Structure 1
Amino acid sequence: MKLKNKNKKNDYSKLERKLYMYIVMIVMAAVVFVLYIRSMIRGKLGEWIVRFLENHYDLEYLDAMRIYQYSIRNNLEIFIYVAIAISILILCRVMLSKFAKYFDEINAGIDVLIQNEDKQIELSAEMDFMEHKLNTLKQTLEKREQDAKLAEQRKNDVVMYLAHDIKTPLTSIIGYLSLLDEAPDMPIEQKAKYVHITLDKAYRLEQLIDEFFEITRYNLQTITLTKRHIDLYYMLVQMADEFYPQLAANGKQAVIHAPEDLTVFGDPDKLARVFNNILKNAVAYSEENSVIDITAGLSENMVSIVFKNAGSIPKDKLAAIFEKFYRLDNARSSDTGGTGLGLAIAKEIIIQHGGQIHAESNDHYTTFTVELPVLPDLVDKRGS
């Protein structure tokens, strides 16, 4: 706290020095002004007043001097006080004008932020700390606006692609059902083949519709966790078994390296979704006839789960894979295409658990690493 206050004081040091110089200069000018008035009343100004009384009122010199003495000279302190009051008013007016100048500059800078003008904010030299902060804020707002536009564009692209992808299986379903309707005497083998294809397309259509709902839910729902101790080894084995058909179809397999007594504290449904999304990504983008290694272990009250698959991700795309609506493949295969929300949601869930997730890739392998606290108190500390 002390360091923070010290930094704030340093921020305003130039402005304080400038205002202090103004105050010193104005006070000195006020003192000189008061002394000048005092000397003038006692000197040339006094003589001028006496001559004025003599010439305009036909008074003798002694009479004019007596009037001057009693009316002005003996009340010199009153004139000094008036001069001091005038000096203070002048000081206040000058200081207010200086403050108004700085506020006008800040106001102009805020106008640049509001109007989103494409220019740098420039303030007085003594306000360089405020200039830096306003320009930093301007850059932050511009970046957020660009990110929001990019996210909106990605979302629109995803909706457009999904609409196209939905039309593809729907057209196939209608086509095959039409064939079945038009040819009731179709051979049983051919009919079974068409029914099987239609069912596959219906499943794909259901998946795409679920993804449409996912787009809507992502920004509207708050992730709530119901935490408990989880048998992590069993969860990973069960997940690998669920993916067996997809893995076997391309000659792939998932191998788990983890102690059977490994546990973690968290929401089982949400963590299953995280691991599911990562493995789904590995299955979709790994090389054929390859092995996906899933390694889990305990280190200093943290559980680390690493998914490693053959295949690389370009560096320029690696940093963006946890962003909303981002997909690695621009072509968007109708068979593997998704919303690009899986890894973004996975990251949110892991952060809610007080953990972290990151990805690395080289020319041969890609790894996703998830780190989670083992104990409830560690979850609360890291989460807060």
Structure 2
Amino acid sequence: LYQQVQTLNTDLEKQVQDRTAELQQKVQELQQLNILKDDFLSTVSHELRTPLSNMKMAIHMLKVFPVSERGQEYLNILDTECKREINLITDLLDLQRLEGGTELASTDVIDLASWLPTIIDPFKSRAKEREQTLKVKTPKKLPQIVSNNNSLSRILAELLNNACKYTQDGGEIKFIVECNQKKSSKKNLVESSFSIKFMISNPSEIPASELPKIFNKFYRVPNADPWKQGGTGLGLALVKKLVEQLNGNILVTSSNGWTTFTVEMPV
């Protein structure tokens, strides 16, 4: 009986080892495929950027000359689609760069009191075009923070863009800023750390089953765009990478007909 048990244990150990080796090989193959996919996307994106830039210039030159009303309509369609493709390529290249993790973001001192209006005001105008309301709530005294100006601008602009895009005409969008102080005790010393939260909400609920996938590349929530606004499915993936690069956190919640994205950044 003892010999039988020993034989069974030996067989089981061998099966586990074989299975583990097989799984490790599969993981390596998947990793290699992922690298090849990223290399392909990067190469194709670089190759497409130049002809698209030339197309954009050609469209701009054609608009200078008088054309019929129908011709102007076609030029506007070409211009819109060209911009869409350029934005897609830019997002792909930026994601590739961020996923490589080789580039550190430079830091700037940002005075939120004067800086935030430059981000929010264009979206107020855009909201008015669709009779939407953009409600802004901030503390009376906003701090200065140390972050990357371009990255933080892009994060908030992308989230505001989505909020406007996925809100019905006449709907309400909320932009709230909160300053938070956290205290922690270490060896009888009380240490304080400050963070700032940017919360962007709009009246559009995302099913709970879709929330874990919302930051995946090329993922779009099914049936979430009844107004056919379009998109690449890269915006939120890019936002998440940018937030992580700035040592921040991003959280999404959705219930009672509202979706809220919360970005928390160190001050």
Shorter-chain TM-score range: 0.5 to 0.7
3-state DSSP class of the match of 2:230? coil
Structure 2: distance between partners of 1:354 and 1:210: 23
Aligned positions of 1:263-282 closer than 5 A: 263-282=144-163
2:180 maps to 1:286? no
2:257 partner letter:
H
Residue equivalent to 1:22: none
3-state DSSP class of the match of 1:357? strand
- Could you give the per-residue CA deviations for residues 101-127 of structure 1, whole angstroms, max 9, x where no partner exists? 9788545422111224xxxxxxxxxxx
Residue equivalent to 1:207: 87
CA separation of 1:329 and 1:207: change in aligned 2, threshold 3 A? farther
Residue equivalent to 1:114: 21
CA separation of 1:204 and 1:343: change in aligned 2, threshold 3 A? closer
Query: CA contact under 8 A between 2:132 and 2:169: conserved in structure 1?
Result: yes
- Could you give the per-residue CA deviations for residues 248-292 of structure 1, whole angstroms, max 9, x where no partner exists? 332223232113533322111111121122112212222321221
3-state DSSP class of the match of 2:163? helix
Query: CA contact under 8 A between 1:282 and 1:309: conserved in structure 2?
Result: yes
Query: CA contact under 8 A between 2:201 and 2:259: conserved in structure 1?
Result: yes
2:139 maps to 1:232? no
3-state DSSP class of the match of 1:336? coil
CA separation of 1:222 and 1:323: change in aligned 2, threshold 3 A? farther
Query: CA contact under 8 A between 1:252 and 1:289: conserved in structure 2?
Result: yes
- Percent identity at matched positions? 26
Is there any run of 5+ residues in structure 1 with no aligned partner, and where?
1-97, 117-137, 160-165, 375-384
Residue equivalent to 2:231: 337
2:138 partner letter:
A
Is there any run of 5+ residues in structure 2 with no aligned partner, and where?
1-5, 42-47, 182-193
3-state DSSP class of the match of 2:178? strand
Give the superposition deviation at 1:304: 1.4
3-state DSSP class of the match of 1:319? helix
1:291 partner letter:
E
Residue equivalent to 2:188: none
3-state DSSP class of the match of 2:196? strand
Give the superposition deviation at 1:324: 2.8
Query: CA contact under 8 A between 1:229 and 1:263: conserved in structure 2?
Result: yes
The RMSD of aligned alpha carbons is 4.3
CA separation of 1:228 and 1:103: change in aligned 2, threshold 3 A? farther
Give the superposition deviation at 1:349: 2.7
Structure 1: distance between partners of 2:67 and 2:245: 56
- Could you give the per-residue CA deviations for residues 337-374 of structure 1, whole angstroms, max 9, x where no partner exists? 21x23222322332333331101111321111111111
Structure 2: distance between partners of 1:240 and 1:110: 57
Give the superposition deviation at 1:327: 1.5
CA separation of 1:350 and 1:219: change in aligned 2, threshold 3 A? closer
Structure 1: distance between partners of 2:197 and 2:240: 15
3-state DSSP class of the match of 2:250? strand
Give the superposition deviation at 1:195: 4.0
2:258 maps to 1:258? no
- Could you give the per-residue CA deviations for residues 120-153 of structure 1, whole angstroms, max 9, x where no partner exists? xxxxxxxxxxxxxxxxxx9xx99x79xx69x97x
- TM-score, with normalisation over the residues of structure 1? 0.48
2:177 partner letter:
A
User: Which structure has the larger Rg?
Assistant: 1
CA separation of 1:327 and 1:106: change in aligned 2, threshold 3 A? same
Query: CA contact under 8 A between 2:166 and 2:224: conserved in structure 1?
Result: no
Give the superposition deviation at 1:221: 5.3
3-state DSSP class of the match of 2:263? strand
Residue equivalent to 1:349: 242
Residue equivalent to 1:163: none
3-state DSSP class of the match of 1:315? coil
- Could you give the per-residue CA deviations for residues 164-190 of structure 1, whole angstroms, max 9, x where no partner exists? xx9xxx9xx9xxx9xx9xxx9965x55
Query: CA contact under 8 A between 2:110 and 2:147: conserved in structure 1?
Result: yes
2:231 partner letter:
G
More strand by share: 2
